[in-house]
């Protein structure tokens, strides 16, 4: 696909003005640097659980972590260890950046965190612990391990109101987070962003990798004689700002992020491409964005996990980038110091490189006796050496074939900015799998007719023995929907995700040989992920123990493998990422894709896929916490915006939206369904009254409209969530009421039809809005009888009309808000 070139402009320069570290070799940047200089690693005997009957005893834990020194007793009890580490690192970064997060300033400060495993909850206790739904305390603790809950804890603690995102690309999570933070700053969505990652040392993670046989029996030796990975824990955080803003504020500048590259291997869900091809492309993309040549790089901080597959493939990737063996700079792995810190790995390793650059040293790979076969570069064995690092690459790779590379270096005042070619972006493909229909036409018909897929179920045990309702997909036949997709080794959620992805590609006319592999990316939105397989993992672990745990369930515990399955199934090798959030996941993923795509002319399109599966684990937890509507109260339906909305009706399904740069869409004659013209992201972190009033949700809406150049009076259509829970629906209604000021703009919701499919619900709204724009229809709210407030809800019959500009809004229970504007192709952008 070749498109007419978009005129580039100067890219904003993004600098690092604050650094925070909390890890096994230091709980401050100074301690970290001292450990690096001294060659002092943090790997030792595992203390947080018993490994005496197993054959891996080493890990890198933060041994002196004492929550009481930093948190109140109630905070310490409520905050997961992962969140605690994240908050401590974030506080340091903000302090060093001298960033004011109070008052109105907080509106312009955002956060993007990379979390791989999520919180660890009670998992480090014995396997004889009761199941999560056993009592309310256990249920709350388990829900508190959600990836996005860790990010939310930092937001709440610091009082941030800007954009908030949780990226989970496994071992590349925080590298991906830094990349996305740069995009948000480039787009002016914030003035400063806290970007980083965290993960606590987790028994589940240990068990999973132990089952895979991937762990080293001694402290790891990346590229060296000891094969295998050693796990660690920690958090890292940096404050990123546009250079102009930083110079105006005057903090110290630690360094500059020059470029970011990401790719998908599309090869295997756990093993990297054997030639390191995907990592090579990510490194080259980072260099290209930074307008650098390989010869400009003085150092590579490798992903360097110590596994045979990674280290060999990464060595080949580095050789392929630098081509001439004499030109390959020193390469070292910081994981030799603090183990593999999963969500924190990317940012910690980036910080190591940054600090060493300022110090005039090259960090070593310790525990290195001799190189292993296939690894023959200069890995800076055991001792830091003097050397100038003006510019470096920091590599990360992950399950699912994710590769994320940062190009960065010392701040040079007169460096020329690299170019960015920003294009408009539209929707050229869409597909839906839901309880009402597994086709777009079927979905539209169900919306039109007010049909719902919600029914009373007795599949899961409940606390009170009464039945609940859910919107489940019946009669799902992947072979009929996409005959050429081999789903035999996929679990249910991955089947949904891969099938809907293929259908959207087909809808866009990009299936099969017409798909440009390197130039199409994938971003997946999840809330709970493949729950059935996760249940099997937990059950298998409880019944067999670590030593006999089957490895086949573990990949489902890693969110990025869903994107990996999609990439592999459809041979998509461009940018790849995964967003995890509550009911905002789908919208956040879509907006992440929008921002990445419009700034990157190395991509033609990004496929956004959200998927949900209803399984026993979370159904029982939600039920235990009283979050579900019972059959007696609300038999078989969600009641969006009902004044007495009492609870959730879970739904399952998947939605895929293909976003495409308009220049490319026009060049290949694609049908453009709608254009995404503006968006806003905010966080609620104020007092209860402020949150209840939806102040920040309203601000997100106004930001979206402002970017789209659309005043509220010009809106034709609005889709909210309306999940049937009074306090959350009330927040939407209040925000919309203030925005619309009594204007009778039609307001709809698709959740009455498809239930609350947490990750997908925002994209179901996008699908409804897009269909409405295309077909001139506003769909009635299914199950609507009593509705709160005075909004002009769409009730009864479908309302034909001309709908050229639609607002889609959504937020999570914790107040992570998103709003976006879709416009018809003739309404366009201002």
Partner 1 sequence: MSEAMSSAIVQSRSGNDSVGAQAMDERRDGSLRKEYRLLREGIGLSDYRAMGKFKVLGPASLELVNRVVLADVSRVPIKKMLATFILREDGGVSCETYVANLGDGYLLLTEGASPAEIAGLLANEARDVPGAEVVDTTRETALFSVDGPYAWELIKDLVGMEILGARYLEVVTDQSIAGTPATIYRAGKTGEFGYWIAVGKESAERTWAALLEAGRPFDLALCGSEATDLCKLENRFINVVREGARAGNVLELNCRTMVSRDKGEYRGRAAVESVIERGLRRRLIGLTLERGSPSDKLPELGAAVSYRGVTIGKVANVAYSYTLGRPIAVAFLDVDYAYVGLDYDVGASCARSNARTVSAPFVFNKSLAIRFQESSYLARDSR
Subset of 282-321 contacting partner 1 (CB under 8 A) = 308, 311-313, 315-316, 320
Tokens of 474: 């019946």
| Cβ nearer to partner 1, comparing 41 with 401 | 401
**Are the C-beta atoms of residues 583 and 723 closer than 8 Å to each other?**
yes
Tokens of 690: 């402020």
| Cβ nearer to partner 1, comparing 274 with 801 | 274
43/57 Cα distance (integer angstroms) = 10
Give residues with Cβ within 8 angstroms of 248, minimum separation 6. Answer: none
DSSP-assigned states of every residue in 51-83: -TTSS--EEB--TT--GGGTS-HHHHHHS-HHH
Subset of 672-691 contacting partner 1 (CB under 8 A) = none
* Nearest distance in Å: CB 376, partner 1: 10
Q: Is 592 annotated as catalytic?
A: no
**# residues near partner 1 by CB under 8 A:** 29
| Cβ nearer to partner 1, comparing 58 with 372 | 372
* Nearest distance in Å: CB 313, partner 1: 6
Query: Pick from 52, 102, 484, 742: which binds partner 1 (CB under 8 A)?
Result: 484
Burial annotation 16-40 (CB, 10 A radius, 16+ → b, else e):
bbbbbbbbbbbbbbeebbebbbeee
512 binds partner 1 (CB under 8 A): yes
| Cβ nearer to partner 1, comparing 309 with 359 | 309
765 binds partner 1 (CB under 8 A): no
Subset of 440-479 contacting partner 1 (CB under 8 A) = 479
| Cβ nearer to partner 1, comparing 76 with 320 | 320
Helix (H/G/I), strand (E/B), else coil: 516:
coil
Subset of 343-402 contacting partner 1 (CB under 8 A) = 372-375
Q: Is 303 annotated as catalytic?
A: yes
| Cβ nearer to partner 1, comparing 378 with 449 | 378
Select which of 58, 210, 340, 588 is catalytic. 340
Burial annotation 68-84 (CB, 10 A radius, 16+ → b, else e):
eeebeeebeeebbbbbb
Subset of 570-589 contacting partner 1 (CB under 8 A) = 571
Q: Classify residue 489 by its DSSP letter.
A: T
Stretch that binds partner 1, among 431-439, 482-490, 611-619, 694-702 (CB under 8 A): 482-490
Q: Is 171 annotated as catalytic?
A: yes
Q: Classify residue 552 by its DSSP letter.
A: G
Percentages helix, strand, coil for the chain (3-state, rounded to 5) are 35, 20, 40
* Nearest distance in Å: CB 638, partner 1: 37
Subset of 14-53 contacting partner 1 (CB under 8 A) = none
Subset of 256-285 contacting partner 1 (CB under 8 A) = 265, 267, 273-277
| Cβ nearer to partner 1, comparing 102 with 513 | 513
Give residues with Cβ within 8 angstroms of 477, minimum separation 6. Answer: none
| Cβ nearer to partner 1, comparing 515 with 683 | 515
Residue span 517-556 as binding mask against partner 1, x where in contact by CB under 8 A, dash where not? ----------------------------------------
H helices present in 147-225, as ranges? 147-158, 173-186, 203-212
* Nearest distance in Å: CB 666, partner 1: 23
* Nearest distance in Å: CB 274, partner 1: 4
Strand partners, 44: 59
Side-chain-facing half-sphere of 349: CA atoms under 13 Å: 42
829/422 Cα distance (integer angstroms) = 13
Angle between helix 616-624 and helix 136-143 axes, rounded to 10 deg = 120
Strand partners, 90: none
Side-chain-facing half-sphere of 566: CA atoms under 13 Å: 36
Tokens of 196: 């980083």
* Nearest distance in Å: CB 132, partner 1: 38
* Nearest distance in Å: CB 395, partner 1: 16
Helix (H/G/I), strand (E/B), else coil: 32:
helix
* Nearest distance in Å: CB 315, partner 1: 7
Query: Pick from 302, 356, 485, 541: which binds partner 1 (CB under 8 A)?
Result: 485
Residue span 492-511 as binding mask against partner 1, x where in contact by CB under 8 A, dash where not? -------------------x
Hey, which residues are catalytic here? 171, 303, 340
The site for partner 1 (CB under 8 A) is made up of 265, 267, 273-277, 308, 311-313, 315-316, 320, 372-375, 479, 483-486, 511-514, 569, 571
């Amino acid at each position: 696909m070749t498109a007419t070139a978009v005129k580039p402009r100067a890219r904003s320069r993004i600098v690092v003005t604050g650094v925070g570290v909390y890890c096994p070799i230091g709980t401050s940047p100074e301690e970290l640097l001292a450990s690096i200089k001294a060659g002092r690693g943090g790997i030792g005997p595992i203390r947080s659980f018993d490994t005496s009957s197993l054959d891996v005893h080493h890990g890198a834990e933060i041994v002196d972590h004492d929550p009481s020194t930093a948190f109140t007793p109630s905070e310490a009890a409520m905050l997961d260890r992962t969140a605690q580490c994240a908050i401590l690192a974030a506080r340091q970064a903000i302090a060093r950046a001298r960033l004011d997060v109070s008052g109105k300033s907080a509106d312009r400060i955002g956060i993007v965190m990379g979390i791989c495993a999520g919180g660890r909850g009670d998992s480090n206790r014995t396997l004889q612990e009761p199941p999560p739904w056993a009592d309310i305390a256990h249920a709350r603790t388990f829900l508190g391990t959600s990836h996005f809950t860790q990010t939310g804890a930092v937001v709440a603690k610091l009082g941030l109101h800007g954009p908030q995102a949780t990226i989970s690309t496994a071992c590349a999570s925080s590298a991906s987070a830094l990349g996305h933070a740069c995009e948000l700053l480039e787009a002016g969505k914030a003035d400063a962003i806290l970007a980083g990652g965290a993960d606590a040392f987790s028994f589940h993670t240990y068990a999973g990798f132990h089952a895979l046989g991937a762990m080293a029996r001694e402290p790891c030796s990346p590229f060296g004689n000891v094969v295998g990975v050693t796990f660690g824990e920690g958090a890292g955080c940096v404050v990123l700002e546009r250079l102009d803003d930083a110079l105006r504020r005057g903090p110290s500048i630690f360094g500059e992020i020059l470029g970011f590259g990401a790719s998908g291997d599309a090869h295997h869900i756990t093993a990297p491409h054997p030639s390191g091809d995907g990592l090579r492309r990510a490194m080259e993309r980072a260099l290209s964005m930074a307008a650098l040549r390989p010869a400009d790089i003085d150092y590579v901080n490798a992903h360097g996990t110590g596994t045979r597959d990674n280290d060999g493939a990464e060595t080949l990737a580095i050789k392929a980038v630098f081509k001439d063996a004499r030109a390959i700079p020193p390469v070292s792995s910081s994981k030799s110091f603090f183990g593999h810190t999963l969500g924190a790995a990317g940012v910690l390793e980036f910080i190591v490189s940054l600090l060493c650059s300022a110090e005039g040293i090259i960090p070593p790979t310790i525990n290195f006796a001799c190189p292993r076969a296939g690894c023959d570069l200069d890995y800076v064995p055991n001792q830091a050496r003097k050397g100038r690092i003006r510019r470096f690459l920091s590599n990360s790779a992950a399950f699912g074939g994710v590769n994320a590379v940062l190009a960065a270096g010392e701040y040079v005042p007169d460096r020329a900015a690299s170019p960015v070619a920003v294009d408009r972006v539209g929707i050229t493909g869409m597909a839906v799998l839901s309880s009402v229909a597994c086709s777009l036409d079927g979905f539209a018909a169900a919306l039109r007719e007010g049909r719902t897929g919600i029914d009373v179920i007795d599949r899961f045990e409940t606390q009170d023995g009464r039945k609940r309702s859910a919107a489940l997909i019946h009669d799902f036949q992947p072979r009929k929907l996409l005959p050429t997709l081999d789903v035999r080794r996929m679990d249910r959620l991955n089947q949904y995700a891969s099938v809907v992805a293929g259908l959207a590609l087909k809808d866009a006319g990009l299936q099969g040989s017409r798909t440009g592999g390197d130039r199409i990316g994938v971003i997946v939105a999840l809330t709970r992920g493949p729950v059935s397989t996760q249940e099997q993992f937990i059950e298998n672990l409880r019944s067999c123990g670590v030593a006999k745990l089957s490895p086949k369930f573990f990949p489902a515990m890693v969110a990025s493998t869903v994107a990996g399955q999609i990439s592999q199934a459809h041979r998509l090798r461009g940018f790849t990422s995964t967003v995890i959030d509550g009911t905002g996941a789908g919208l956040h993923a879509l907006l992440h894709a929008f921002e990445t795509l419009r700034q990157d002319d190395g991509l033609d399109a990004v496929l956004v896929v959200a998927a949900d599966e209803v399984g026993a684990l979370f159904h029982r937890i939600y039920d235990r916490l009283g979050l579900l509507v019972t059959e007696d109260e609300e038999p078989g339906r969600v009641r969006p915006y009902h004044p007495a909305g009492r609870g959730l009706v879970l739904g399952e399904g998947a939605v895929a939206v293909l976003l495409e740069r308009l220049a490319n869409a026009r060049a290949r004659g694609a049908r453009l369904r709608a254009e995404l013209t503006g968006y806003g992201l905010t966080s609620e972190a104020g007092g209860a009254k402020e949150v209840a009033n939806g102040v920040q949700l309203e601000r997100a809406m106004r930001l979206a409209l402002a970017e789209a150049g659309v005043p509220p009076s010009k809106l034709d259509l609005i889709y909210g969530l309306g999940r049937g829970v009074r306090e959350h629906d009330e927040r939407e209604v209040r925000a919309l009421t203030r925005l619309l000021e009594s204007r009778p703009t039609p307001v709809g919701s698709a959740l009455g039809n498809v239930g609350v499919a947490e990750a997908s619900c925002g994209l179901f709204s996008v699908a409804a809005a897009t269909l409405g724009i295309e077909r001139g229809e506003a769909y009635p709210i299914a199950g609507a009888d009593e509705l709160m407030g005075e909004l002009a809800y769409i009730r009864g019959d479908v309302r034909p009309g001309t709908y050229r500009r639609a607002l889609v809004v959504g937020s999570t229970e914790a107040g992570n808000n998103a709003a976006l504007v879709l416009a018809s192709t003739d309404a366009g952008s201002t």
